[in-house]
Amino acid sequence: MQFMNHRPRVSLNFHFTQPKMNAQFKSLETRHRFSRKSRRGIKVYFDSRSNRSFPSIWRGESTGEYSVRSGYKYLHEGQNQLQINYKQFYKRLWNLELPSKIKITIWRCSRNYLPNYSNLHYKRLMGLATCRRCHTGAETREHLFRDCPVAKEMWEKLNICWPSSVANYDFLEVLITMFESHSISKCRMITCALWAIWANRNRFLHEGESRSGSQVADFVLNYLKELDDLNHFFPIFEEPILLKYEQL
């Protein structure tokens, strides 16, 4: 059968399934020896007729074939949306009335720069990545700040719930969601609580001081109250005053 150098009509009533699509298309190409332009038309036809996307079809171009231009456009649009979300999150974080050391710690946490055991194990600086406090899993960022029994007890005492709908999302995306759905005062408490978990973890490892989740929650509430009292007496304070207070 001879085919002219144009797109085949819909009368080509082939039925392709996703698992066998590549093999069937290759067999069809071998048997009938379609030209490149005709094969391109067949791919676009099947893509437009089905709601299911196939790995071999690129939706960024009308031809169904990948190009550097369309790939760059797709990545650029996605990065713009991510940059907007990140910018709003970090803007809210830096504007919180908290000491700089707390906000910098949370920034490092959001970027996964903290030297937890999972990161140290990944860099081959630690043999085992197991959490030393609960021994129930690797000390990843998610485990340390959310899944560890000490962290769970603290969040429950503070009456803060992690959104279950984004439980499998990246940790930074979960933080962004929490910051968007809570007030400024609640975001301030969340930020201080994350810092307290990290500080409590370091005291446990390096000083042998063990605190329960309820004790960490009480520390967070008392710390925020002291900061509020300080701001009441010094409504306009500079960073050196706050740093001096931190050293007390």
The model's pLDDT over 73-129, given as tens digits with 9 standing for 90+, comes to 766 665 566 677 788 999 999 999 999 999 999 999 999 999 999 999 999 998 899
pLDDT of residue 132: 92
Q: Does residue 136 carry a pLDDT above 80?
A: yes
Share of the chain above pLDDT 70, in %: 63
Distance (Å, rounded) from C-alpha 15 to C-alpha 101?
62
* Same domain as 76, residue 58: no
The model's pLDDT over 30-68, given as tens digits with 9 standing for 90+, comes to 444 445 544 554 454 444 444 444 455 666 676 777 777
* Same domain as 151, residue 180: yes
* Same domain as 141, residue 58: no
* Same domain as 10, residue 44: yes
pLDDT of residue 78: 57
* Same domain as 98, residue 55: no
pTM of the model: 0.64
Q: Does residue 182 carry a pLDDT above 70?
A: yes
Residue 60 lies in domain: 1-65
Give the 3-state secondary structure of residue 138: strand
Number of domains in the chain: 2
pLDDT of residue 151: 95
The model's pLDDT over 231-248, given as tens digits with 9 standing for 90+, comes to 877 754 444 444 443 443
pLDDT of residue 170: 85
* Same domain as 162, residue 53: no
* Same domain as 78, residue 48: no
* Same domain as 78, residue 4: no
SS (H, E, C) 9-28: CCCCCCCCCCCCHHHHHHHH
Distance (Å, rounded) from C-alpha 73 to C-alpha 65?
14
Cα four-point dihedral sign 149, 207, 195, 131: negative
| Residue 89: Cβ-neighbour burial (10 angstroms; 0-12, 13-18, 19+) | buried
Question: Which residue would you say has higher pLDDT here, 132 or 1?
Answer: 132
